[in-house]
A = this chain, B = another copy of it.
Amino acid sequence: MHTAQASLNTQSIPNAALLRTPTASRNTPELGTTRTVAKDEEVFAEGDRAAYFYKVVSGAVRTFKLLSDGRRQIDAFHLPGDIFGLESGDEHRFSAEALGDATIIAYRRCSLEVLATRDQAFANQVIASTMRALERAQDHMLLLGRKHALEKIATFLLVLSERLTEDGHVDLPMSRIDIADHLGLTIETVSRSLTQLERQGVIELPAHRRSIVLRDKAALQRLEA
């Protein structure tokens, strides 16, 4: 059992040298090793031994679960600074793949346990981070269970914009299929909803479909429900 995929962003663990140092593999090789992952390459699969957890350095990673017939639920996208793949049990309960070419650092799980046992402040930070990950999961349950397509898209764009935006310009690291499998929709509905928002003048969809300009954030917030 047991993944704790949801992102634990390192910003919130100021005391944790282990998690903060993207160059840990060079400075303290025993704590983490850098690894590059190609687009759509697997980092780990559901059922793998969870000997390591990971931090995104560059690029982005999706963690997801599959049903027997192939239906997929992406629980989170992990951006630079995020931790994923930390488990309470000894198996990964999710799969993880790179959205595009990515660089990640792998940490031995036992490192965490050793450090958490020695350093109480660090342990408290890990608790807080895990709780924040849980809270994000809970917000997402509200979205999945009770929001309509347009509300889901609006929420998604607003959440993304908090991390990826430069004055309203969002560069999407993921495809429409990924968005659909994150929001519990189909690619067609995602596409139609985005088109609708564009027609309403709320967003703009540049030609190369991997970026979105948020024209009217207030309108998105109203749509969020």
Q: Please determine whether B88 and A128 come into contact, CB atoms closer than 8 angstroms.
A: yes
Q: Please determine whether B134 and A4 come into contact, CB atoms closer than 8 angstroms.
A: yes
- Chain B residue at minimal CB-CB distance from A151: B67
- Chain B residue at minimal CB-CB distance from A93: B135
Q: Does residue A130 face the partner (Cβ distance < 8 Å to B)?
A: yes
CA gap between A86 and B75 in the complex, in Å: 22
Q: How many residues of A contact B (CB 8 A)?
A: 51
- Chain B residue at minimal CB-CB distance from A3: B135
CA gap between A181 and B141 in the complex, in Å: 11
Q: A1-19: which residues lie under 8 A (CB-CB) from chain B?
A: 1-6
- Chain B residue at minimal CB-CB distance from A119: B120
Pick the residue among B116, B134, B144 that contacts A130 (CB under 8 A).
B134
Q: Does residue A177 face the partner (Cβ distance < 8 Å to B)?
A: no
Least CB distance from A97 to B in Å reads 16
Interface centre among A118, A123, A126, A129 (most CB of B within 10 A): A123
* A135 contact set on B, CB distance < 8 A: 1-4, 88, 93
A residues adjacent to B (C-beta < 8 A): 1-6, 65, 67-69, 71-73, 75, 86-88, 93-94, 113, 116-118, 120-121, 123-124, 126-135, 137-142, 144-147, 181, 183-184, 225
- Chain B residue at minimal CB-CB distance from A117: B120
Q: Please determine whether A120 and B116 come into contact, CB atoms closer than 8 angstroms.
A: yes
CA gap between A118 and B123 in the complex, in Å: 11
Q: Please determine whether A146 and B72 come into contact, CB atoms closer than 8 angstroms.
A: yes
A75-B141, A120-B120 given; A88·B184 CB < 8 A? no
Q: Please determine whether A132 and B2 come into contact, CB atoms closer than 8 angstroms.
A: yes
Q: Please determine whether A142 and B225 come into contact, CB atoms closer than 8 angstroms.
A: no
